[in-house]
Amino acid sequence: MAEKSNLVLIGMPGAGKSSMGVVAAKMLGMDFIDCDLLIQGRFGRTLARIIDEAGAEGFIEIENEVLREIECENTLIATGGSAVYSEEAMAHLQSIGTVVYLQVSIEELKERLGELAERGVVMRGDCHSLEDLYAERLPLYERWADITISVDNTSIREAAETLVNTLQ
C-alpha cells in the first residue's frame, strides 16, 4: 500500500483503544478492527485463557503473527496493550497506518482497571504490578507513536473527538 490510510491505536490496557476506537471510526467513516477480538476469534478462547496456556512470551508470538498479517485500508485498528512488544508487528502496522498513542496516567489507570488477570493482560518477567507494567511499556509506546493524545479525565466521546480534531 502506497498511502497510509489506517489509524493504529496503541496504549495501556484501560486507555480506551477499543471503546474509543469504535466511536472514532464511526466519526471518521472508517472500518474498525479490534486486534484482541481477532486473536480470540482465531483461537476460540479468551485472551486470559490464551495467555494462561501459552504464557506471556507465547502470547506475544501469537499476537505478532496475527498483527503482521493485517492488510486493510481506511481502517482504525485497536491493538492490544502488549502489541508494542512485537517489533515485527509494530513495524508492519506503522508501515500501513499512523500510530496513535492513547496516553493515560498511572493514577487514571488505577481508577479505570479492575483485576489485570481477568482482562487478559500480558505480564512479562519482572512485571508484577500495574506500576511495573506501566514503567516497562511507556518507552515502547513513546517509541512507536506518530501522534500522542492524552485521554486522562475524558469520556470515550471526548477522546474520540480529540483524535478526530488532531487529525484535521
Question: Residues in the chain, how many?
Answer: 168
Q: CB within 8 A of 103, min separation 6: which ones?
A: 11, 15, 141, 148, 149, 150, 151, 152
Each residue's pLDDT, cut to its tens digit, for the chain (168 residues) gives 346 899 999 999 889 999 999 999 999 999 999 999 999 999 999 988 998 899 989 999 999 999 999 999 999 999 998 999 999 999 999 999 999 999 999 888 888 776 555 556 777 767 678 888 899 999 999 999 999 999 999 999 999 999 999 988
Q: What is the model's pLDDT at position 117?
A: 52
The CA R_g of the chain, rounded to the nearest whole Å, is 15
Q: Please state whether 4 falls in left (phi above 0), alpha (psi between -120 and 50) or beta.
A: beta
Calpha distance 100→163 (Å, rounded): 9
Domain positions in the chain are 6-167
Calpha distance 29→164 (Å, rounded): 11
Q: CB within 8 A of 58, min separation 6: which ones?
A: none
Q: What is the model's pLDDT at position 63?
A: 94
Q: What is the model's pLDDT at position 48?
A: 86
Angle in degrees, CA 138, 51, 82, rounded to 5? 20
Is residue 41 classed as helix, strand or coil in its secondary structure? helix
Q: What is the model's pLDDT at position 110?
A: 81
- CATH topology classification for 6-167: Rossmann fold (3.40.50)
Q: What is the model's pLDDT at position 2?
A: 40
Residue 5: what residue type? S
pTM assigned to the model: 0.92
